Amino acid sequence: MKKIAFLTLLMICTASAFAQEHLKIMTYNVRNSKGMDNVMDCRRAAAVIRTQAPDVVAVQELDSMTRRSGGKYILGEIADYAGMNAEYFPAIEFDGGKYGIGILSKEKPHAVKGYPLPGREEERALLVAEFEEYVFACTHLSLTEADRMASLETIGKIAKGCSKPFYLAGDLNDIPGSQFIKALQENFRILNKLESKTFPAPNPDRTLDYIAVWKSTAPKLDIVSKEVIDEPMASDHRPVVVKLRTALEANELMRTKPYLQNPTNGGMTIMWETIIPAYSWVEYGTDTTQLERARLLVDGQAEFNESVHKIRLEGLKPGVKYYYRVCSQEILYYGGYHKIFGNTAVSPFYSFVTAQDDADSFTALVFNDIHQRKHIFEALYRHVKDVDYDFVVFNGDCIDDPKDHNQASGTLKFLTESVNGSSIPTIFIRGNHEIRNAYSIGLRKHLEYAGGKTYSAFNWGDTRIVILDCGEDKKDDHREYSGLNDFTSLREEQVEFLKEELSSKAFKKADKRILFHHIPIYGMQGSNLCEPLWRPMLDKAPFDVAFNAHTHQYAFHPEKSTENNYPVFIGGGKSMDNATIFVVHKSKGKLSVKVINTAGEIMNEWKQ
């Protein structure tokens, strides 16, 4: 149950993080629901609205309880059919009832207020509704230009008094290029396409219906779509719909904190996620006042369309403390000749220390077989959280059967942030469960492997670390894999890698040599697909210690106890009774390993 609860939490958190800031606005002069066939039917206008599924609609020409409408509340009937909240404001008393305008919305507004506007042929009105993120106003302006100009002055005063974005929609009774529309555009940005005609509905030849936003409080936004709906019968006007994507607030952009990867060859890779694609960079330096900028360039272009960001810092000095912060800017629209930028998120400063080239001491934590069980990780980590460690190794089966981006991202976020991965490098080794399920290949987006391979060799100070990738624990032709795997070739590829590594100067010169791979070769019952390929070399290889996992049972095999040429530690895992953590320490030419279980008991304390 605990695993299920943890996964459910990850799904909820990550799903909500990907919610887009979309706003869909409609304006529709419904002609009191009287169609071009002179039939009054509220269901037709409601069907158009329901199909478009707008967030908010400005509706004009509405009777309420008039004789000509049979005593019906027209907006209320449309709202019922469309499944939306209704707010009404009358412009005039008419035919035993009222006649005016309304607002339909998915959410109920916090406040609503109506304002009279001038009209010589009939009085006009403005209805204003305040929502959580914006203010929306509906109007139907006069046929007389002087009245429209006077109305614009009133509307402008109301919009100017709003601190939230102010949207205006309705039948403005004027055409693009007129004096009134030009005056409107001084302070409002029109969002609908002016070339798209809206009246008369059967064969439109002019634009009378508009959606606009007050410029001074307008959010940064991209117009995702703008269209006039092809509806020639339900009214004498066609409805106008605009879909907007508004910029996220800067504090909403980041999905994860940065985490450090691949601390090799005088460099450090900094990774993080935003909830939407963004243009990103890293600012870094040996203090926070003089910063360099690093970004990812692909064939001369800055990467801008990824939500997983991976930026490599090169040429770092050994043994130096660096400060850095990550920056991500939303790009709302990327056109050939025009870009719309959103807000920029800037993280707090973090720091890391690069390893000395000849450093003879370090401390590392080694986890394995967590299988996304949060309670197991926390039970182990609480006993080592005060240890001054330099890097963390996750030796396989920690990101369990990744089915999608959300699951992988949520697990990585939890693990890296728990071990202070913004300042401490984390090394993720593939176990057989990292290469199962639909998103297994996608994990590569979230990690950076030394040398670009899932197996590698690199130095931490004067210690050589070798990582092997065992692949799956069953043959490639097993029915579970459906012919999609070829780990045989991957294992054979590592034969040559091992030969070269064991004969390399870096390996021979190293003071200590540590081997990591997930599936044990020594001390494991049953077949190991790596054994016939790698064991002939590993039997003779002068490693000082090896760390394995996979069996879910802690075991220690001293040197020569199972034909092994060096001590082998196999980590437990998957349950509170069996899970272990290794604390690996090197100092003054000596290695030591402390094995701790979930209860905090020291199960083994080995010293070289």
Query: Do the domain assignments include residue 261?
Result: yes
What average pLDDT does this structure show over 96-103?
98
β-strand 391-395 against 362-367: which pairing, if any?
parallel
Q: Are 498 and 565 in the same domain?
A: yes
Query: Do the domain assignments include residue 12?
Result: no
DSSP state of 203: S
Pairwise CA distance, residues 372 & 83, whole Å: 42
Q: Are 38 and 161 in the same domain?
A: yes
**CATH number, residue 297:** 2.60.40.10
pLDDT tens digit sequence for 244-285:
999 999 999 999 999 999 999 999 999 999 999 999 999 999
Q: Are 363 and 502 in the same domain?
A: yes
What average pLDDT does this structure show over 177-186?
98
Q: Are 375 and 274 in the same domain?
A: no
DSSP state of 354: P
Longest CA pairwise span in the chain (Å): 103
pLDDT tens digit sequence for 384-437:
999 999 999 999 999 999 999 999 999 999 999 999 999 999 999 999 999 999
Query: Do the domain assignments include residue 4?
Result: no
Q: Are 259 and 196 in the same domain?
A: no
**Which of 313, 329, 352 corresponds to the end of one domain?**
352
Residue 7: pLDDT over 70 = no
Sequence-ordered alpha helix ranges (H) in 83-178? 145-160
Residue 390, helix vs strand vs coil: coil
Q: Are 62 and 89 in the same domain?
A: yes
pLDDT at position 526 is 73
Q: Are 386 and 320 in the same domain?
A: no
Q: How many domains does the chain have?
A: 3
Pairwise CA distance, residues 476 & 471, whole Å: 10
pLDDT tens digit sequence for 219-248:
999 999 999 999 999 999 999 999 999 999
Q: Which domain holds residue 317?
A: 250-352
Residue 10: pLDDT over 60 = no
What average pLDDT does this structure show over 101-127?
97
Query: Do the domain assignments include residue 5?
Result: no
Q: Are 433 and 579 in the same domain?
A: yes
Residue 3: pLDDT over 50 = no
**Which of 325, 352, 379 corresponds to the end of one domain?**
352
CA angle 478/401/420 to nearest 5° reads: 145
Query: Do the domain assignments include residue 307?
Result: yes
Cis peptide bond upstream of 200, omega within 30: yes
Q: Are 510 and 533 in the same domain?
A: yes
How far is C-alpha 550 from the geometric centre of its chain's CA atoms? 31
Q: Are 222 and 299 in the same domain?
A: no
What average pLDDT does this structure show over 286-300?
96
In the block, residue with structure tokens 């009191």? 32
pLDDT at position 229 is 98
Q: Are 315 and 449 in the same domain?
A: no
pTM confidence score: 0.86
Query: Do the domain assignments include residue 318?
Result: yes
pLDDT band at 21 (very low <50, low <70, confident <90, very high): low
Query: Do the domain assignments include residue 1?
Result: no
Query: Do the domain assignments include residue 7?
Result: no
**Which of 246, 276, 296 corresponds to the end of one domain?**
246
Nearest alpha carbon to residue 253 among 129, 341, 322:
341
pLDDT band at 563 (very low <50, low <70, confident <90, very high): confident
**CATH number, residue 52:** 3.60.10.10
Q: With beta carbons less than 8 A apart as the criterion, state whether 168 and 25 touch.
A: no
Residue 11: pLDDT over 80 = no
pLDDT tens digit sequence for 186-214:
999 999 999 999 999 999 999 999 999 99
Nearest alpha carbon to residue 463 among 565, 357, 553:
357
Pairwise CA distance, residues 61 & 30, whole Å: 6
pLDDT more than 90, % of the chain: 92
Residue 16: pLDDT over 70 = no
**CATH number, residue 595:** 3.60.21.10
pLDDT band at 358 (very low <50, low <70, confident <90, very high): confident
What's the burial of 2, exposed, middle or buried (CB within 10 Å: 0-12/13-18/19+)? exposed
Q: Are 339 and 417 in the same domain?
A: no
